[in-house]
A and B are shown apart, each in its own frame.
Chain A
Amino acid sequence: MATDNKPAVSIKDMIKKDRILNSGHRMCAGCAAPVVIKLMGMALRGPTIVCNNTGCLEVATTIYPYTAWNLPWIHVAFENAAAVASGIIEATKVMHAKGHFEHEHVDVIALGGDGASFDIGFGAISGAMERGHDMVYMCYDNGAYQNTGIQRSGATFMGQETTTSWAGSVIPGKLERKKPIAEIIAAHKIPYVATVEPSNYRDFITKFRKALEVEGPAFIHAFSPCPRGWRSATGESISLSKLAVETGLHPLYEVINGEEWIMSSASKNLKELKPVDEYFKTQGQFKHLFKPEWADFRKRIQEQVDHDWELLKKRCGVE
């Protein structure tokens, strides 16, 4: 791995940084997850081990006999990367003390999609955060169980159509709001929680590096567009990610020790939010919302987003 310890945020440094995920992986064309991983790689600082929950990223990067990973990498199951990481962290420390493991410190990163993180593996994350293992857990959130064929998860937006939250004649897609995962993890009072997305890449890399540097657990919530599931143009994944910030659907912020809320400049500098309609109209999964019968429902979604945005601004001390 890279011996260069600095995070790479300029293009000239980035192209020199060791690549952690090679080409030849089988993520769909236009999937943002490999970009999320690339940006994570730009933040690395030394020996690193990656634990990956089951999901698109896990499956499509390690189809035997090929692996796209240049880092030591382990997948065990869908819901347990945080627990696997707990074991790795504590084992390497003990083994190093006994002279059985060379490195005094290894950065251990656990990765999971939104299904693994918001839903099935939530308990394992909560436990790992509470126990204080020095890991970074990153959820790449593409808004549904895309790997199994676009089923709703706790991360699915209100109004989003999935194969288990169909938009029908009486139901306009998912009726429930998205679980505020970063807030919930921040409530564990861990040293560092941040939301990121790939278009604001410098912000992403800087935050990921902070997450590595704090002592104790850190949680990164990365937004990650999925053209296949969202029925969006493959070329638009990064711009959609930006639009999610601009509409307040994925605001960027940090929470230090569960108490100090800091709004990141990409969100803070917004004079006002763009209407969620602008985001919705880019994707097939929201197109039903523009039927006249769902106008009120769409309005309710906007009100919810506005409400959450005001609350976040207040928390972050932003006027």
Chain B
Amino acid sequence: MNQHGFTKESLRKKFRLSEYLSQRIITGVAFLSITIIVLIFFFVFKETIPVFQQPDKGSAIDSEELVQEQYGVFAESEEEDDRPEVYGMELDSALMGSRDYGADASTAEDERVTVSDLLGDQWYPVSSNPRYGLIPLFVGTIKITIISILFAAPIAILAALFSAAFAPTWMREWVKPAIELLAGFPSVVIGFFALMVMATVLQELFGYETRLNAFVGGIAMGLAAIPIIFTITEDALTAIPGTYKEASLALGATKWQTALFVTLPAATPGIFAAILLGIGRVFGETMIALMATGNAALISANPFESVRTLAATIGAEMAEVVFGDTHYGVLFLIGSLLFVFTFTLNALAEFYVKGRLMKRIQGKIS
């Protein structure tokens, strides 16, 4: 088969096309995943920019006109006439020169948005005098995040402690997958359950007025955050070296003392990361917010009043806006803020907390 002997000729370097191509293609595709992140950043931010630009021309589109109840708009024939012209307007504008409201500059004089507009306390994007104050949306989102984390974190952390420290092995093998089953629930299902069942039950229990409110939404989102916090906390707890626990037990500490005073403190960075990721999940959750919070953009500290979150605002309004107009841009701005915020949370959880956990286990910081 082979020529005998090790000779220069028989072992001369060969170019293999399949080898070359596979290497190039695989590397190229892998790099695309970075590119996608960059693209997502780019395109979400890009649609935001026009909001802040000075408009140089353009007739205002009265947003009121386009905002009637338009759910299901794509199937209703009466809408099909004006709708299509709107999609893809930005790119088509060059070709459809006659159309006046071209491109990104379609923002009308009176719809220009300044930072102080965005800091306003009213969110009325579709009135004849639209106001784009993001404060009520932020208040709503933060309120709901606090409620859901206050609900989810203790339960999830205690459950993780039970699974990691107290439950016998056979029970742990059941408890862990059972709780993680909750992660498999689509958020629309949790939202549906909150809307149909929880809202009624909680209202009867607490006797407040508004059926859908921050409290209901917060608890429902807590259900979505529980499996995340549980899993990461559990992992952090089980990652604590057995020698720690043995040392404590050998000193005569009981099982629960070991769990409370040794395992739990050692896993704090991991638990902190779990909570951060839970916050990230709740902050960006859309469907539950849409279905269970009432969606009224109010500024109030009362947990039993309706709220409108940032994510839900995008979800509810994006399907109804005109491409390229101010409302559209502001929704993308909200998206950018959400993106930056969750990105920061995750980066924080990743670089700071996980690093600390590792160092702590290795004994570099006390």
A binds B: no
Query: Chain B interface (Cβ within 8 Å of chain A)?
Result: none
